[in-house]
Chain A
Amino acid sequence: MTEYPLGPLHLLRRAQVNTMNSNAGFLREAATFTPAIDQGKIDSHGHTVQFYRDDSYLLDGLSRFIGSALGAGDAGVVIATKEHRDGLAQRLRARGLDLSLAAKQGRYISLDASETLSKFMRNGSPDALRFTEVIGTVLAQARAAAQGGQSRVAAFGEMVALLWAEGKGEAALLLEHLWNDLGQSHSFHLHCAYPMAAFGEVADGELIERVCAAHTHVIPSECYASLASEEERTHSVVALQQKAVALETEMAARKNIQRSLQLREAELVDFLEHAAIGMHWVAGDGTILWANKAELDLVGYSREEYIGHHIREFHADHDVIEDILRRLSQNEELHAYEARLRCKDGSIRYVRIDSNVFTQDGKFVHTRCFTLDITGQQKAQEARLKLAAIVESSDDAIASKNLDGIVTSWNGSAERMLGYKAEEIIGRPVTLIIPPELQDDETMILGKLRRGEKIDHFETVRMTKTGERLNVSLTISPLKDDSGKVIGAAKIMRNITETKKIEHALRLSEKLASVGRLAATVAHEINNPLEAVTNLLFLARRDMADTLKAERYLELADRELDRVAHIARQTLGFYRDSSAPVAVNVSQLMDDLLFLYESKFQNRGIELVKQYESSLEIMAVTGELRQVFSNLISNSIDAMASGGSLTVRISASHEWNNSHLSGVRITVADTGSGIDPQHRNRIFEPFFTTKADVGTGLGLWITRGIVEKHGGLIHVHSRTEAGRSGTAISIFLPQTCLQPQPEEKSLLFARETKGLVNTKTILTSSGVIR
């Protein structure tokens, strides 16, 4: 420990400079203790302040100070803390001083500092009068007891230090001044001491000056005490100054660092507090130590309601949180751990937790938990799973594919219907289930899907794993991603093989029924003329004598037989019809049928108007075409119970939508009551009929089926207003192969039939002649 001399500042400040005392011994003691100018002389008046860092340094010095006084027979007063008094007493005894004797003699007075202090403190400040009373008395006593030549009193007091330690700086200074005042009336040398540590603040610099100023001598702390020469002292002064500058620089730097650290800390705190993800710390026992705003917002609780509580209070599933805590306590890291939190309002939020543990010296300090709210995704996930479950459990076969036609999903019903297990067909092209002859279907379907079109109830054929063909009805919808782009298709397949079988049976039965009806008509058409002929022959024979009458009868009979023969020729040859398409002369077919219905027309008072443009031929199945015409004609007859006009028009035409398909248009129009608007949508429905007991309701359904099978179209126009009512059914049938002969496109007369039927013949050209 090097010791430094007093600084020049203090030299200037010295208020009282005392001359040296001749008591060399005393001085020599003091010299080793108090350097520089004070070399030698401490006289009866003096107020020294000592600063110290280390207690033992203080006590060593004090023991010399007090010890020399006591040794010289003078008095020593010690007003100090118990530790210091004991420490001092120990040292004095080690010097060989008999303290108990001195105490008995009244020369050694040892008092407790705080006790003494309390005797004269009033309202946190030393009271002058009481101080003088208390301390003065003590000093006077000591002086009286002093047996040394000059009756010196060496006093040590650290009451000021106590006050200083209590933060009562002003009171301490006041006390110092009171001591000084006491020094006017009493003779003593006072030594006070302050621990240097008490002046640790930069602001204390001013105060320490004031303290020094209140004393006659100042003893700096340890480092300076032992320096002897001026040179040494000035060197150490320079060193001290440098140190001061260095410290100031360092302090400034430290302040800067502190500022930037504060900024940094503020940034980090802000980052944590206001991060967009919930964060919290949980202690080893599960108590929440800290949570950021996002976390509190997530659960809807306030800070007080969350922090300090146990984390399990906020989890919906206790076993989950217990597992989380258990793993974390074993220092496990958790990633994407899913849990459910219960919010203040009772709602449940799904979260994903990422957490690890902050340990220090191997001890669990707290967790570092991140809480991600996945409620939205969870709900979407649940919805998806629900849909997937619905698809899987549906009785309909549901599958999906991408735009390359590769199967991407396949439900249980699809497995059962088509025989392929999901694993077998997912990832493979959907063409696996398309029969070879229908492979183009897929191209057409994909084309429509890419355009975002839906395919509804498309009837087609699909193939099972075993090669069995099934009639199916497909509904295919485009699948779109979030941006609306088509990325694939979902299809529902319904096995309509059974339905198709039933429909086939229905058609067959209707065909039979139709044939039956036709046959009935034929029978009627044959039986009646035969009856007429029978009667006519009877009459001819009866009235043979009357040749005119007889001739008339026979003529009539002839005509009737003609009709029968015609009917027999045409209609009873039905069994020869093939079921493959052949070239059919449409007008001829129609005429044959109309002939059959001739008598009916007559009896009902139905006027027949025929407008045939030409002799047109189309590829068709004869029997089916006949069934269609028959259906239309008989419907018209039924509609005109009290007579009317039936118009049959046949002309070359083009498909109404697609002008490149040429063919024939056949229109059958009546002047009946028309079709009720509310029924108009239903007339093609199977089993729909407005006729009480005559119809099966299948006629138009089958008619449409046959027309569509031939690639044609059927249209209905109808009016129900009285006076203008009627129905016209128009059919377009494509020609396919045969073209009508050019010359036959010119005017043609409709055949005039023999018999008793009224037929109006129409010449068609650009104008109509009636």
Chain B
Amino acid sequence: MKAIVVDDEPVIADTLVDILNGEGWEAVPVSDGASAVKWAQLIQPDVVITDVIMPGMDGIETAKAIMEILPRCRIILFSGQASSVDLLEKAHADGYQFEVLAKPINPTILLEVLGPPAKTASSKKLSESLRTT
């Protein structure tokens, strides 16, 4: 299972990717929304975990864009700020349902929410996806 972790704080993105990879995920750290969309197109992730408040495209816009191209991709929003509430309400009003987690979150809980990465034979392996570019 492939995942993209989007956060403008490198420490957070890197450590999360490290944790996920340790659990059998194939995770990639990205630091902004636009790049996240490109990566999504490229590697077709199953899950995208993204910070909400970021410079440039915020998390919600990133999520919407990715949903356009990967309607069945699971998107989890990750927020450390109270103002994300407004953004989420707006998204909800537009008909989007996103999962939200608040920072700081214990990685154990995050892993529980994600569930173990399913071994699907149909999905391409990350390295394969990367190789084809």
Interface status of A542 (Cβ within 8 A of chain B) = yes
Interface status of B105 (Cβ within 8 A of chain A) = yes
Interface status of A523 (Cβ within 8 A of chain B) = yes
Q: A543 vs B23: C-alpha distance in the bound complex, in angstroms? A: 12
Q: A377 vs B127: C-alpha distance in the bound complex, in angstroms? A: 102
Q: A693 vs B124: C-alpha distance in the bound complex, in angstroms? A: 41
Interface status of A536 (Cβ within 8 A of chain B) = yes
Task: Say which one of B14-22, B59-67, B92-100 lies at the interface with A.
Answer: B14-22
Q: A538 vs B105: C-alpha distance in the bound complex, in angstroms? A: 11
* Residues of A contacting B81 in the complex (Cβ-Cβ under 8 angstroms): 520, 523-524, 527
- Chain A residue nearest to B54 in the complex (CB): A603
| B interface footprint on A519-560 (CB within 8 Å = 1, 0 otherwise) | 010011001101111111011001100000000000010001
Q: A531 vs B15: C-alpha distance in the bound complex, in angstroms? A: 10
Q: Which of B18, B55, B82, B105 contacts A534 (CB 8 A)?
A: B105
Q: Which of B17-38 contact A (CB under 8 A)?
A: 18-19, 22, 31
* Residues of B contacting A599 in the complex (Cβ-Cβ under 8 angstroms): 9
* Residues of A contacting B9 in the complex (Cβ-Cβ under 8 angstroms): 528, 531-532, 599, 603
Q: A764 vs B103: C-alpha distance in the bound complex, in angstroms? A: 41
- Decide if B104 touches A534 in the complex (CB within 8 Å): yes
* Residues of B contacting A17 in the complex (Cβ-Cβ under 8 angstroms): none
Cβ of B60 to closest chain A Cβ, rounded Å: 14
Q: A556 vs B105: C-alpha distance in the bound complex, in angstroms? A: 18
- Decide if A527 touches B104 in the complex (CB within 8 Å): yes
Interface status of B116 (Cβ within 8 A of chain A) = no
- Decide if B8 touches A534 in the complex (CB within 8 Å): no
| A interface footprint on B56-83 (CB within 8 Å = 1, 0 otherwise) | 1000000000000000000000001111
Interface status of A756 (Cβ within 8 A of chain B) = yes
- Decide if B83 touches A531 in the complex (CB within 8 Å): no
Given contacts A524-B53, A535-B16, A535-B19, contact A556 B104 (CB under 8 A): no
* Residues of A contacting B120 in the complex (Cβ-Cβ under 8 angstroms): none
Cβ of B85 to closest chain A Cβ, rounded Å: 11
* Residues of A contacting B22 in the complex (Cβ-Cβ under 8 angstroms): 539, 542-543
- Decide if B55 touches A604 in the complex (CB within 8 Å): yes
- Chain B residue nearest to A543 in the complex (CB): B22
Given contacts A538-B19, A603-B8, A604-B55, contact A531 B82 (CB under 8 A): no
* Residues of B contacting A604 in the complex (Cβ-Cβ under 8 angstroms): 55
Residue among B12, B105, B106 with max Cβ neighbours from chain A (10 Å)? B12
- Decide if B19 touches A532 in the complex (CB within 8 Å): no
Q: A532 vs B13: C-alpha distance in the bound complex, in angstroms? A: 9
Interface status of A641 (Cβ within 8 A of chain B) = yes
Interface status of B121 (Cβ within 8 A of chain A) = no
| B interface footprint on A50-74 (CB within 8 Å = 1, 0 otherwise) | 0000000000000000000000000
- Decide if A530 touches B104 in the complex (CB within 8 Å): yes
- Chain A residue nearest to B78 in the complex (CB): A531
Given contacts A520-B81, A524-B80, A532-B12, contact A538 B104 (CB under 8 A): no
**Could you tell me the dominant secondary structure of chain B's interface residues?**
loop
- Decide if B103 touches A560 in the complex (CB within 8 Å): no
- Decide if B103 touches A538 in the complex (CB within 8 Å): no
Q: Which of A59-102 contact B (CB under 8 A)?
A: none
Q: Please give the number of chain B residues whose Cβ is less than 8 angstroms from any Cβ of chain A in the complex.
A: 25
Cβ of A491 to closest chain B Cβ, rounded Å: 48
| B interface footprint on A335-376 (CB within 8 Å = 1, 0 otherwise) | 000000000000000000000000000000000000000000
- Decide if A535 touches B80 in the complex (CB within 8 Å): no
Given contacts A531-B103, A538-B107, contact A523 B82 (CB under 8 A): yes
Interface status of B132 (Cβ within 8 A of chain A) = no
Q: Which of A524, A536, A641 contacts B15 (CB 8 A)?
A: A536
* Residues of B contacting A532 in the complex (Cβ-Cβ under 8 angstroms): 9, 11-12, 15
Given contacts A528-B12, A603-B8, A641-B55, contact A534 B80 (CB under 8 A): no
What total of A-B pairs shows CB separation below 8 Å? Answer: 68
**Chain A residues touching B, range:** 20 to 34
Cβ of B67 to closest chain A Cβ, rounded Å: 23
| B interface footprint on A596-618 (CB within 8 Å = 1, 0 otherwise) | 00010001100000000000000
Interface status of B133 (Cβ within 8 A of chain A) = no
Q: A560 vs B103: C-alpha distance in the bound complex, in angstroms? A: 15
Q: A535 vs B9: C-alpha distance in the bound complex, in angstroms? A: 13
Q: A544 vs B91: C-alpha distance in the bound complex, in angstroms? A: 42
- Chain B residue nearest to A556 in the complex (CB): B11
Cβ of A553 to closest chain B Cβ, rounded Å: 8
* Residues of B contacting A531 in the complex (Cβ-Cβ under 8 angstroms): 9, 12, 80, 103-105
Q: A528 vs B105: C-alpha distance in the bound complex, in angstroms? A: 10
Interface status of B122 (Cβ within 8 A of chain A) = no
Q: A524 vs B106: C-alpha distance in the bound complex, in angstroms? A: 17
Q: Which of A520, A535, A560 contacts B83 (CB 8 A)?
A: A520
Cβ of B86 to closest chain A Cβ, rounded Å: 10
Q: A524 vs B103: C-alpha distance in the bound complex, in angstroms? A: 9
* Residues of B contacting A756 in the complex (Cβ-Cβ under 8 angstroms): 10-11
- Decide if A527 touches B103 in the complex (CB within 8 Å): yes
| B interface footprint on A489-531 (CB within 8 Å = 1, 0 otherwise) | 0000000000000000000000000000000100110011011
* Residues of A contacting B106 in the complex (Cβ-Cβ under 8 angstroms): 534, 538
Q: A524 vs B7: C-alpha distance in the bound complex, in angstroms? A: 13
Given contacts A532-B9, A604-B55, contact A539 B18 (CB under 8 A): yes
* Residues of B contacting A560 in the complex (Cβ-Cβ under 8 angstroms): 11
Cβ of A686 to closest chain B Cβ, rounded Å: 23
* Residues of B contacting A523 in the complex (Cβ-Cβ under 8 angstroms): 80-82
Q: A539 vs B19: C-alpha distance in the bound complex, in angstroms? A: 7
- Decide if A603 touches B104 in the complex (CB within 8 Å): no
- Decide if B82 touches A520 in the complex (CB within 8 Å): yes
- Chain A residue nearest to B31 in the complex (CB): A603
- Decide if A528 touches B103 in the complex (CB within 8 Å): yes
Cβ of A673 to closest chain B Cβ, rounded Å: 15
Q: A523 vs B11: C-alpha distance in the bound complex, in angstroms? A: 17
- Chain A residue nearest to B22 in the complex (CB): A542
Cβ of B69 to closest chain A Cβ, rounded Å: 25
* Residues of B contacting A533 in the complex (Cβ-Cβ under 8 angstroms): 104
Q: A686 vs B3: C-alpha distance in the bound complex, in angstroms? A: 46
* Residues of A contacting B80 in the complex (Cβ-Cβ under 8 angstroms): 523-524, 527-528, 531
Q: A661 vs B103: C-alpha distance in the bound complex, in angstroms? A: 49
Q: A317 vs B10: C-alpha distance in the bound complex, in angstroms? A: 97
Cβ of B79 to closest chain A Cβ, rounded Å: 9
* Residues of B contacting A538 in the complex (Cβ-Cβ under 8 angstroms): 15, 19, 106-108
Q: A291 vs B124: C-alpha distance in the bound complex, in angstroms? A: 123
- Decide if B15 touches A603 in the complex (CB within 8 Å): no
* Residues of A contacting B8 in the complex (Cβ-Cβ under 8 angstroms): 603
Q: A528 vs B52: C-alpha distance in the bound complex, in angstroms? A: 12
Q: A531 vs B82: C-alpha distance in the bound complex, in angstroms? A: 15
Cβ of B103 to closest chain A Cβ, rounded Å: 4
* Residues of B contacting A535 in the complex (Cβ-Cβ under 8 angstroms): 11-12, 15-16, 18-19, 107
Q: A542 vs B12: C-alpha distance in the bound complex, in angstroms? A: 17
* Residues of A contacting B82 in the complex (Cβ-Cβ under 8 angstroms): 520, 523
Chain A residues at the B interface, C-beta cutoff of 8 Å: 520, 523-524, 527-528, 530-536, 538-539, 542-543, 556, 560, 599, 603-604, 641, 756
A532-B9, A535-B15, A603-B55 given; 10 more Cβ-contact pairs under 8 Å: A524-B80, A528-B80, A534-B106, A534-B107, A535-B11, A535-B19, A539-B19, A539-B22, A542-B19, A603-B8
30 A-B pairs within 8 Å (CB atoms) are namely A520-B83, A523-B82, A524-B80, A524-B81, A527-B103, A528-B80, A530-B103, A530-B104, A531-B9, A531-B103, A531-B104, A534-B105, A534-B106, A535-B12, A535-B15, A535-B16, A536-B11, A538-B15, A538-B19, A538-B107, A539-B15, A539-B18, A542-B22, A543-B22, A556-B11, A603-B8, A603-B9, A603-B31, A603-B55, A756-B10
- 5 closest cross-chain pairs (CB), A and B: A527-B80, A535-B15, A530-B104, A531-B104, A538-B107
